Amino acid sequence: MTGNALHLYSRAASRRGFLAAALSAGVVRAEGPCSPARYGTPYKYGKLILAASGQEGAYDRVSVDCPFVFRHGGKFHLTFVAFDGVGYQTGLATSDDLLHWRKQGVVFRRQPSSPLLRYNAAMNWILRENGLRSPGNLLPVDGYFLGAYHAYPNAGYEQGAAVIGLCRSRDLLHWETGEPALLPGDGAPWERGGLYKPCLLKYQDTYYLFYNAKNQTAGSWNEQTGVAYSKDLKTWSRYPGNPILRNGPPGSPDEHFASDPCVLQDGDRWAFYYFGLDSKGVARDLLATGPDLFHPSRCGSIMVDVGKPGSVDSRYAHKPSLIQHNGDLYHFYCAVSPHGDGEIRGISVARSRPWTERGSQASVT
C-alpha cells in the first residue's frame, strides 16, 4: 500500500471512507477449477435498476445497497439495505423481468426499544434454494421464512461493532427477531471489530452462516470471511479453520477485503461469490470455488469489474447476489459512482449473455 493510500485508510471513519481511498488493480492467478464461461457475468446492463429516492424523511433517502435476489409467488423479489442518514433499514422490491423493479417499502425496520436494532436493521439473506442454477425459491422453516441480518449499535454509517442475528416472517413484510446468533466479542481476533453481511444456507441437516468481519473497529482494518454452523438455529459454532476466505497476497484484488459472501451450490462444487478490495481502493466482485463449504480456492477472473469514468459503477462494483433464469446468470451488485463531493450508490445487474441478443428481456415462467 502506498503511503498516501495508507494515510487515507487509517483516517477512514467508516468502511465507505476506506473504500473511497483510491482506485485500480489486477487479478490473482487461478488456484482452483473455475470457468469464466460457466460462472462469469461479463455483460453489464449499464444502468441502475434501483436507486435512492432522495426524498427527505424516506428510509431510502441517501442510498440503496446490498441486493439479495430470489423468486417467490410468481415474481422476482429483491431485498436491499437502505440508508437515510441515520442508519440502515431493509426494503423490498418486486419485478416481472429482473430489470424493472417496484419498491414495496421498508419491511425490516429499526426498533427504537431494541438495543440491537435501535439504529440499524440490515437484513441481507433469506433462506432459499442452494443451487446456483435453481429458480431461487425461498425455503420456509416451520411455516416461516428465515432471514439473517446484521446491525450496528450506533447511529451513523456503520458505527460500532455489528452483530448478526436471525429473524422470521410469514409474509416477508413483518419480521420477528430474537437474540443475536453471533457476537464479535465471542470470535477470534480477525472478527472482533464487527460482523458484516450474513449468508444463510441449509445443507443436509445443518445450517450455515457465512459472514465477513473486520479485525478492528477503527483505523486500518482488514476484512475476511468465515462460517459458523448449527443444527437447531440456536447454538452456533464457528469453524475452527476460519477465516475460510482470507486476504490475498500483496497486489491481489482482495489484499484488504474478502467480503460479502454469496455462497451457492453448483453440482458437486460450491461457488463463493464475494467482493475484494485491493490496496488502491478498488472494490469489485470476485469468485472462489470449492468441493465443500469450508475450502474455497480463489479464481483468477474478475466477475464484475468497475466501469469507465461516467458509468454507474465507475467507483465500485461489489456485493454480489445471483439468480439464474432461462439459462442466464443474473448478477446483481452495488454500483457506486462519484457525484460532486459525494457519491451515487445504487443497484445494477450484469449477466452471462449479451443484452443485445434476441430475447434478452427476462420473464417469469
Q: Cis check for the bond before 243: say yes or no (omega within 30 of 0).
A: yes
What are 303-358's pLDDT values in tens digits? 999 999 999 999 999 999 999 999 999 999 999 999 999 999 999 999 999 998 64
Residue 56: is it exposed, middle or buried by C-beta count within 10 angstroms (0-12/13-18/19+)? exposed
Residue 297, strand partner residues: 289
Nine cell digits for residue 176: 420477528
What are 75-122's pLDDT values in tens digits? 999 999 999 999 999 999 999 999 999 999 999 999 999 989 999 999
What percent of the chain is predicted at pLDDT more than 90?
A: 82
For 140-197, give the DSSP string: -BTTBEEEEEEE-SBTTTTBS--EEEEEEESSSSS-EEEEEEE-GGGS-GGGTTEEEE
Q: What is the DSSP letter of 18?
A: H
pLDDT exceeds 80 at position 362:
no
Rounded Cα distance, 132 and 331, in Å: 11
Q: 270 vs 78, 93, 259, 263, 267, CA distance in Å?
A: 23, 28, 17, 7, 8
Minimal CA–CA distance to 293: which of 275, 316, 318, 269? Answer: 269
Domain 3-351 has CATH 2.115.10.20: yes
Rounded Cα distance, 38 and 273, in Å: 13
Answer yes or no: are the C-beta atoms of 46 and 257 closer than 8 Å.
Answer: no
pLDDT exceeds 80 at position 8:
no
pLDDT exceeds 70 at position 14:
no
What are 230-256's pLDDT values in tens digits? 999 999 999 999 999 999 999 999 999
